[in-house]
Chain A
Amino acid sequence: MDKKKAVDDTEPGPAPSRPVDRFGFIKPEQGTSPDGISKSKFIHERERERDGRRIKKWRKMIGVGGSDWKHYVRRNPHVVKRRIRKGIPDCLRGLVWQLISGSRDLLLMNPGVYETLVIYETSASELEIIRDISRTFPSHIFFQQRHGPGQRSLYNVLKAYSVYDRDVGYVQGMGFLAGLLLLYMSEEDAFWLLVALLKGAVHAPMEGLYQAGLPLVQQYLYQFEKLVLEQMPQLGQHFIEEMINPSMYASQWFITVFSYSFPFHLTLRVWDVFLYEGIKVVFQVGLALLRFCHDELVNILFALFLAAFVLSLIFGDVLKFVTCCQVKLPFEKLLHAFRNFPEEATDPDVLLPIAFTFKVSGRLEELEKEYQKKLEGSNASASTKRSHPLKLKTMSRIGSRALSNFTNSEK
């Protein structure tokens, strides 16, 4: 359909001078596979067979152009959830993302709106958007060509959104969302999926990620910090002592839903789940990453402890050991660990199962209430009131609001 890129699609147009991986990213000089795993031919063969079977199942599940999807979801929600967690086949991803995010319905209810936003409207954010266009997935062939189709689509989607929601306008980070979507669907589809996410077609709206003061980012970071303390008290305490604030490592996870400087194959798998189950998977994956980090850090700490002990024996000064014993991992090491997760952590079939072991839904709700109370207490004007997902009935209003925005600004 309208996929820009599927596994076996070879893009016509300027031939890339360097080899690209299966997602279209230019391979780094040293040709390690993007999966971080180099596989033998035999495994490839078996994988292809397995993928073939999965695609068949999926096709049956969604029907022609998605016609059977809603019916299937209603009857077998658990099967759908399980299959999505295993990963949506790449060739069906674009379509399924539109189905599970509710964006398909938005599109159908608002014919012509996108075009109007792109063609007739000017946005105060245009310069800011242009500035970032070539800095969004710069190593992907689709976005590489200056003023090429990829960059133009990206610009159009972002500009259209900045007109559609002038409170949000454009914020760095949105480009990665839009860019990711554009690799799997047309401009107009990508735009409506962005709307579905930010305005909350299925899950709670996420526009607060990008509003002035980034209120929702602040709330998520608050929730995340508490969860870390509860799930990994040792590590959480360590962060507090070293004054490591989650905004130093986790804000990009939330602002771009793991689409920014994250292994791409992993990004896709997180997005499969994210679009179906909502933002909680970002918390879960974040916790899983820290769990890896945690184990590593505990090992390092133990090694340092031993080293200090041995040194104290050599120098025969046990007192010195005792005072040195407050061995702590320096700030630098910790933050380094966040950017260099062990390789196994980048395998979605290892990371995601660990992520799903964290049961966070209930706690997230409580923490959200707690945070809101705290905010009210400190009478902060910027609030992230919990807005419930839009009901289908109100969806068409989203479109008409876009148009009224448009006509208002005409005046």
Chain B
Amino acid sequence: MGSKPPPPPQPSVSFKLVLLGDGRVGKTSLVLRYVNDVFSDKQEATVQASYLTKRLVVEGVPITLSIWDTAGQEKFHALGPIYYRDADAALLVYDITDNDTFLRVTKWVKELKQMANKDIVMAIAANKSDLVRSKHIDTNEAASYAESIGATLFVTSAKAGTGIDDIFSDIAKRLLERRKNSSDGLSLAHPKKGILIVDDEPEKEPPPKCCS
């Protein structure tokens, strides 16, 4: 925090991303597909937020996404704000076959506008596209809504593995852009981290000196 000595330049930029959406829309499955490339139709209901990380490279910049997967049921909001209060990005998920879950997304957006970072990057995943038989998936309403709030919309299927890399790398790109535009530049690392020890080799060699 404030009292700590300033952290040295990071080998990678880290961002915090939170997944939000109604119960059983596929939040956990999306994350697990993205991070571990697995899918299970025997996924247990999420009772407690869980945390995963994913490293990726966008435009030559190594990025670490810290992903918080949350429980969908409304009552769990009581334990919720810590997950999205300082999130850099929110991935809002709904079930493409269930309109109520889309309404829940709009509720979440309202809450985020009040509670979260003002410049939080938002994306909407219209999930479970594998359940839609017809080739033309109607996402007009969702797309125009997404546009109106400055979010991007992606049609995804955690089961088929489609659209998922796209949505996460879109988020990462926009996060990076946002950070470049902000005055602090890339050095604006997560304030809560001390020295980050990266055990996996990051994709790019970090600068040889860790402290100067």
Contacts and interface: CB of A to CB of B under 8 A. Distances in A.
Interface of A: 128, 131-132, 135-139, 171-173, 175-176, 210, 212-214, 217-218, 241-243, 245, 247-249, 251-252, 255-256, 260-261, 304, 320, 323-324, 326-333, 335, 339
Contacts of B73: 128, 171-172
B51 A327 contact: no
A175 B192 CA distance: 36
A132 to B, nearest CB: 5
Contacts of B79: 214, 217-218, 247, 251
B45 A175 contact: yes
Given A132-B45, A172-B73, A217-B78, A327 B53 contact: no
Contacts of B24: 131-132, 135
27 contacts: A131-B23, A132-B24, A135-B43, A136-B44, A136-B45, A138-B42, A139-B42, A171-B75, A172-B71, A175-B45, A212-B75, A214-B75, A214-B76, A214-B79, A241-B194, A243-B192, A245-B82, A247-B79, A260-B47, A320-B209, A320-B210, A323-B211, A327-B195, A328-B194, A329-B197, A330-B194, A330-B197
B192 A242 contact: yes
Interface residues of B, number: 34
Contacts of B210: 320, 324
A172 B45 contact: yes
Q: Which 7 A-B pairs have the closest CB atoms?
A: A138-B42, A252-B48, A328-B194, A135-B45, A214-B78, A172-B73, A213-B78
Given A137-B44, A172-B46, A304-B197, 15 more contacts: A132-B23, A171-B75, A172-B23, A172-B71, A176-B47, A218-B79, A243-B192, A245-B82, A247-B49, A255-B48, A261-B44, A326-B195, A328-B195, A329-B197, A332-B66
B207 interface: no
A339 B44 CA distance: 15
A44 to B, nearest CB: 29
Contacts of A214: 75-76, 78-79
Most chain A CB within 10 A, of B24, B43, B48, B196, is at: B48
B193 interface: yes
B211 A320 contact: yes
A214 B196 CA distance: 34
Contacts of B43: 135, 138
Contacts, number: 104
Contacts of A260: 44, 47-48
Nearest to B45: A135
B5 interface: yes
A324 B45 CA distance: 41
B51 A332 contact: yes
A279 B73 CA distance: 24
B193 A330 contact: yes
Interface of B: 4-5, 8, 23-24, 42-51, 53, 66, 71-73, 75-76, 78-79, 82, 192-197, 209-211
A251 B51 CA distance: 14
B158 to A, nearest CB: 14
A138 B211 contact: no
Nearest to A321: B211
B47 A172 contact: yes
Contacts of B48: 247-249, 251-252, 255, 260
A218 B75 CA distance: 13
Contacts of A248: 48-49, 51, 82
A304 B196 CA distance: 12
Given A132-B24, A324-B211, A252 B47 contact: yes
Contacts of A128: 23, 73
B78 A218 contact: yes
A165 B139 CA distance: 40
A313 B8 CA distance: 19
Contacts of B51: 248, 331-332, 335
Contacts of B209: 320
B195 A324 contact: yes
A304 B48 CA distance: 30
A247 B83 CA distance: 10
A12 B24 CA distance: 31
B12 to A, nearest CB: 12
B60 to A, nearest CB: 23
A175 B51 CA distance: 23
B85 to A, nearest CB: 11
B78 to A, nearest CB: 4
A143 to B, nearest CB: 10
Contacts of B4: 326
A331 B72 CA distance: 23
Most buried by A among B5, B46, B51, B82: B51
Contacts of A332: 51, 53, 66
Contacts of B49: 247-248
Given A172-B71, A327-B195, A256 B82 contact: no
Contacts of B50: 339
A183 B47 CA distance: 20
B197 A173 contact: no
A323 B5 CA distance: 9
